[in-house]
Amino acid sequence: MIDAMPRPRPPYLHREKTYRGKYVWYVRVGKGPRIRIKAEYGTPEFDAAYQAARNAEPLAQKTSVRAGG
């Protein structure tokens, strides 16, 4: 039954429920600003965003080319 235990969350990671009923993830180190993680929990994008937020680094934005601009 030990396998049924959930994994502990990484440090400074918090989950909150919005007024619309959706759950979102935030990183907050100490009394610093809350940084929202927009990627889905458990994905490589989430891990990259978490590490960037924890280290207070800007996350590299994906650039896309818009046609007809």
Q: Where are the alpha helices (DSSP H) in 1-69?
A: 44-54
In a domain, residue 4? The reply is: no
pLDDT at 60 > cutoff 90: no
Q: What's the structural domain count of the chain?
A: 1
Q: What is the pTM of this model?
A: 0.71
In a domain, residue 26? The reply is: yes
Q: Which domain range does residue 14 map to? A: 9-54
Task: Give 46's pLDDT tier (boundaries 50, 70, 90).
Answer: very high
pLDDT at 69 > cutoff 60: no
What number is the average pLDDT over the span 31-56? 92
In a domain, residue 66? The reply is: no
Task: Give 20's pLDDT tier (boundaries 50, 70, 90).
Answer: very high
In a domain, residue 21? The reply is: yes
Conformation bin of residue 56: beta by default, left when phi > 0, alpha when psi is -120 to 50: left
In a domain, residue 39? The reply is: yes
